[in-house]
């Protein structure tokens, strides 16, 4: 039986460590300034090359959801009616001509992207064109982050741990993306007793008369929703400890699906991702996380059985280190390849 909770003195120790780490992880004004400059620069480049096409440069992912660190990549979504930009080739050429380095065009990816490095601003960027889903799910994550003061520090510290332990590279490492981790964190907070976060998508459905006649995808009336988690008094150290305990020992991966949309767990059977059904393609995945807007998309499927057992082992390692004298630093120690 894994330890259930922290002793008072352990709790205080972990609180200090988490406060210190969180302060270090907040992006500096200087790095926020560079991000803003990159957006301006791209806006100017694109609108000079293709004037009159209503080209807009939007940030998404961690640059738009309050979870960026100084060294995070900038995720950029260009919106425009000019369809020819969607193939990404002409954008890649333009960036290359204008001093961007390491320009890589992944035109055949699920979402076609261009990656580049800006040597002047020292920033890496991922660009795509006309991907409204990413803008919408970013705005929803940001709303969750703003709802309760515990979400931002908790999520930033867990993200830092995933980076240091190399657990967040869906494209290359065969692990899971930051976005998947964020959905796991939000759903964990939705399922505390009493809950810390609601389901913003269900809140939107519950509202009787939408003002302009259109039901929004998710509720974003922050002022009304801000008191939601107030009845839950758990502290940051409690939550970090319980997060690792939950996903390390309690969660029954073969039975349940993480659903931010429902704000609860779905059984794999009701979702149709039943491990007993060998013909179902999601059946074998150990981790099931529903994408909140594209419900048939399993965000967990970037990790195969082998990768998942590695990630699960890392979650347990983190738990053991916190349970044994709150070793947060060791818990986040850079992974060394054997």
SS (H, E, C) 37-69: HHHHHHHHHHHHHCCCCCCEEEEEHHHCCCCCC
Shortest Å, Cβ 177 to ligand 3AT: 4
299 contact choice in Mg ion, ligand 3AT, none (CB below 5 to 8 Å, kind-dependent): ligand 3AT
Token couple for 43: 């806006």
CB-wise, 180 or 245, nearer to ligand 3AT?
A: 180
Contact footprint for Mg ion (CB under 5 A) = 61-62, 73, 75
Contact footprint for ligand 3AT (CB under 6 A) = 60-62, 65, 67-68, 72-73, 75, 133-134, 137-138, 168, 177-179, 291, 299
Shortest Å, Cβ 73 to Mg ion: 5
Strands (E) in the chain, as ranges, are: 56-60, 74-79, 101-106, 113-118, 123-129, 256-259, 264-267, 289-290
CB-wise, 22 or 50, nearer to ligand 3AT?
A: 22
80 contact choice in ligand 3AT, Mg ion, none (CB below 5 to 8 Å, kind-dependent): none
CB-wise, 6 or 318, nearer to ligand 3AT?
A: 318
Sign, CA torsion 207/213/217/219: negative
Shortest Å, Cβ 75 to ligand 3AT: 5
Asked if 199 contacts 191 with a C-beta cutoff of 8 angstroms, the reply is no
Shortest Å, Cβ 261 to ligand 3AT: 13
Distance between CA 303 and CA 305 in Å, rounded?
7
CB-wise, 144 or 256, nearer to Mg ion?
A: 144
CB-wise, 85 or 134, nearer to ligand 3AT?
A: 134
CB-wise, 93 or 121, nearer to ligand 3AT?
A: 121
298 contact choice in ligand 3AT, Mg ion, none (CB below 5 to 8 Å, kind-dependent): none
Residue indicated by tokens 């850079």: 334
Shortest Å, Cβ 71 to Mg ion: 11
Helices 132-147, 178-190: crossing angle, 10 deg rounding: 40
133 contact choice in Mg ion, ligand 3AT, none (CB below 5 to 8 Å, kind-dependent): ligand 3AT
Shortest Å, Cβ 107 to ligand 3AT: 18
Shortest Å, Cβ 37 to Mg ion: 18
Question: Around Cβ 145, how many Cβ atoms within 10 Å?
Answer: 21
CB-wise, 75 or 282, nearer to Mg ion?
A: 75
Distance between CA 115 and CA 2 in Å, rounded?
43
Token couple for 7: 């002793």
Comparing every residue's Cβ against Mg ion, the nearest one is: 61
Beta strands 113-118; 101-106: pairing state: antiparallel
Number of H helices, E strands in the chain: 12, 8
Distance between CA 270 and CA 171 in Å, rounded?
29
């Amino acid at each position: 039986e894994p330890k259930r909770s922290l002793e008072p003195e352990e709790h205080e120790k972990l609180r200090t460590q988490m406060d210190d780490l969180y302060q270090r992880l907040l992006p500096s004004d200087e790095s926020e300034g560079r991000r803003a400059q990159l957006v301006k620069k791209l806006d100017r480049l694109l609108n000079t090359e293709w004037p009159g096409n209503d080209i807009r440069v939007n940030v998404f992912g961690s640059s738009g959801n309050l979870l960026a660190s100084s060294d995070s990549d900038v995720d950029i979504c260009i919106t425009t009616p000019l369809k020819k930009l969607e193939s990404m080739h002409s954008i890649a050429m333009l960036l290359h001509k204008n001093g961007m380095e390491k320009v890589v065009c992944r035109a055949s990816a699920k979402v076609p992207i261009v990656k580049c490095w800006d040597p002047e601003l020292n920033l890496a960027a991922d660009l795509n064109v006309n991907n409204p889903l990413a803008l919408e799910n970013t705005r929803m994550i940001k709303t969750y982050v703003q709802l309760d003061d515990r979400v931002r520090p908790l999520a930033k510290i867990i993200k830092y741990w995933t980076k240091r332990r190399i657990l967040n590279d869906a494209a290359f490492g065969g692990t899971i993306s930051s976005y998947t981790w964020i959905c796991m964190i939000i759903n964990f907070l939705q399922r505390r007793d009493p809950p810390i976060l609601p389901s913003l998508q269900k809140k939107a459905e519950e509202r009787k008369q939408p003002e302009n006649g259109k039901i929004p995808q998710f509720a974003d009336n922050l002022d009304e929703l801000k008191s939601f988690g107030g009845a839950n008094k758990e502290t940051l150290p409690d939550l970090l400890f319980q997060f690792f305990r939950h996903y390390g020992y309690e969660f029954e991966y073969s039975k349940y699906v993480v659903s931010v949309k429902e704000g609860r767990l779905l059984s794999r059977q009701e979702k149709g991702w039943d491990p007993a059904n060998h013909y179902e393609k999601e059946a074998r995945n150990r981790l099931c996380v529903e994408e909140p807007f594209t419900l048939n998309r399993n965000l967990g499927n970037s990790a195969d059985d082998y990768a998942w057992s590695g990630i699960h082992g890392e979650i347990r390692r983190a738990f053991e280190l916190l349970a044994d004298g709150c070793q947060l630093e060791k818990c986040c120690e850079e992974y060394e390849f054997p």
